[in-house]
Structure 1
Amino acid sequence: MKKNKLVDIHCHILPRLDDGSPSLAKSIELARQAVADGIGTILATPHHMDRHYTNHALSVQKAVESFQAELDRRGIDLQIFPGQEIHLNGEIIANLDDLMGIDEGRKYLLLELPHEMVPSYLDEIIFQLNSRGITPVIAHPERNARIIAEPEILYNLVKQGVLAQVTATSLVGTFGKQVQKTAKEFVKCGLVQVVASDAHVLKNREFSMTKAYQVLTDMGSNYSENFQQNARDLLNGDDVSVEVIKIPRKKRKFGLF
């Protein structure tokens, strides 16, 4: 895979904003790892509006400008764009002016669900966002315990026009066989459209993008090429086509991964 070709739309690379990186030195280390993994463009997505972190749009923009200047000074060939991983809560619509999209025009919004559940008000939030021309992109649904147990939930969300992002390390098996199986099934069913790293300076939270794209290649059906194009389209605010989607396996025993 050509070096510096990949686009990563979900990454916690900025220093001292969330649990992604505790220092500039660690963020520089992450940046070098990204380049070594074939990544040329990263959407920096610090957590926002969850129980622990608030990262306002202006603060993220300033942090990206400062970090990009440091990367340029060190000759690290990596382009950073500002974004947020927005935690699902009832205040999203009231705070839209402070939310950054995957793209500059905020056609797409990276939305994180609680890890263990799918709140009952999600459908209403999706409706409210869609009515404003915003498409939610659900982050790592394959790691949500409720969706693992009832994967048809994601099928119903995609039917509503939602998109979804699978994590690279899920595809390569870092989170275990159950998550990997779920991730691959969602790819085959057309329920996820893009792969991203969700990288942190934490154990087992590396980039693994090249490995993930190799998994997609091995799965066939042009998944690798389509997912690479979708990442670029999301970042540019272009249309992402969802063609055929399939209902995944039946409900199985609920359990945390």
Structure 2
Amino acid sequence: MTLIPTNYIDLHCHLLPGLDDGPQQLDESVEMAQQAVADGIRYILATPHHLDRHYQNAGPIVEHAVTELQAELRQRKIPLTVFAGQEVHLQDDLAASRQHLLGIDACCRYLLLELPHEFVPDYLDQVVFKLLQQGTIPVIAHPERNAQIIAQPSRLYDLVQRGCLAQLTAGSLVGRFGHRIKSTSLELIKCGLVQVIATDAHFMVGRGFMMRAGYQALARLDDMYPTYFAENARQLLNGESVALGETLRPNQRRKFWLF
């Protein structure tokens, strides 16, 4: 029988109240925290949106919100540890503001980077190059939900070859976003192009945690995946090196039209 890890680390979660499209009130954040613990999660990196069209959540704002939420969880004896992070939206001048960003780890060796949902901008390669020069490794958030990567999954292969890592949404792996995204998720995992799963949980119907179900899906693919993905999550949070396995170029799917 496959041993599935518990005490999960969730590196992508919209848990903090009032900062983005996650919970708006503290009680809602507490309810989410209780749901996370029930799903086997012990550590969460809170990653409110930053630098997208709607939200600007600078580091001190996020850190203050984490301190307040952690105090509330401690008072209510909810066994969840929360860390401060950001889901940073891609900008062409992103590398110039690196010192103001929160990484997955405290030293910003890894940065959770969100692409536009519709396409992969041409300037991404240059941003990746500059971040890597500065010692920061981009971790591409939910690539399986990007329209261009769905159509051309080899685009993620190229990014991984340049030094990026990638984070898959647990719900994608179990069909929460439909068959096409699930199929893409399975292909990216089998090709070694994603290294960690996370929940991207929000306080809304259909956007819960599903971490346990995600790890169960990993175990059905390969007995070694749950341990590998759990260890990668720990290493990313600690700023340690992640060992990549074999990476394969995915099959080209179909033509991609932006308009």
Q: TM-score, normalised by structure 1?
A: 0.97
Alignment-derived partner of residue 124 in structure 1: 126
SS at match of 2:201: coil
Rounded Cα–Cα distance in structure 2 between residues aligned with 1:99 and 1:42? 18
The question of 1:195 aligning with 2:202 is answered: no
1:253: how far off? Answer: 4.7
Q: Look up the equivalent residue of 2:112 and give its one-letter code.
A: L
Structure 1 residues 2-36: Cα deviation after superposition (integer angstroms, max 9, x where no partner) = 89610000000000000011111111110000000
- Contact kept? 1:189, 1:248, Cα under 8 Å: yes
Q: How does 1:201-216 map to 2 (within 5 A)?
A: 201-216=203-218
Alignment-derived partner of residue 6 in structure 1: 8
Which of 95, 98, 104 is the aligned partner of 1:96?
A: 98
Structure 1 residues 161-190: Cα deviation after superposition (integer angstroms, max 9, x where no partner) = 100000000001000000001001100000
- Contact kept? 2:112, 2:139, Cα under 8 Å: yes
The question of 1:70 aligning with 2:79 is answered: no
SS at match of 2:140: strand
Rounded Cα–Cα distance in structure 2 between residues aligned with 1:2 and 1:147? 29
Which of 184, 187, 206 is the aligned partner of 2:186?
A: 184
1:255: how far off? Answer: 7.7
Q: How does 1:14-163 map to 2 (within 5 A)?
A: 14-163=16-165
Q: TM-score, normalised by structure 2?
A: 0.96
Rounded Cα–Cα distance in structure 1 between residues aligned with 2:160 and 2:4? 31
Which of 166, 169, 176 is the aligned partner of 2:168?
A: 166
Which of 240, 244, 254 is the aligned partner of 1:252?
A: 254
SS at match of 2:249: coil
The question of 1:224 aligning with 2:231 is answered: no
Rounded Cα–Cα distance in structure 2 between residues aligned with 1:25 and 1:176? 31
Q: Look up the equivalent residue of 1:217 and give its one-letter code.
A: A
Q: Look up the equivalent residue of 2:186 and give its one-letter code.
A: K
Q: Look up the equivalent residue of 2:219 and give its one-letter code.
A: T
Alignment-derived partner of residue 240 in structure 2: 238
Q: Look up the equivalent residue of 2:192 and give its one-letter code.
A: G
SS at match of 1:102: coil
1:252: how far off? Answer: 1.7
1:91: how far off? Answer: 3.0
1:233: how far off? Answer: 0.3
- Structure 2 CA distance for partners of 1:255 and 1:67, relative to 1, 3 Å: farther
Rounded Cα–Cα distance in structure 1 between residues aligned with 2:215 and 2:245? 20
SS at match of 1:136: strand
Q: Look up the equivalent residue of 1:202 and give its one-letter code.
A: M
Structure 1 residues 112-158: Cα deviation after superposition (integer angstroms, max 9, x where no partner) = 00000100000000000000111000000000000000010000000
- Structure 2 CA distance for partners of 1:15 and 1:28, relative to 1, 3 Å: same
Rounded Cα–Cα distance in structure 1 between residues aligned with 2:160 and 2:147? 18
1:204: how far off? Answer: 1.3
Rounded Cα–Cα distance in structure 2 between residues aligned with 1:9 and 1:255? 32
SS at match of 1:158: helix
- Structure 2 CA distance for partners of 1:3 and 1:118, relative to 1, 3 Å: closer
The percent identity for this pair of structures is 53
| RMSD after superposition | 1.4
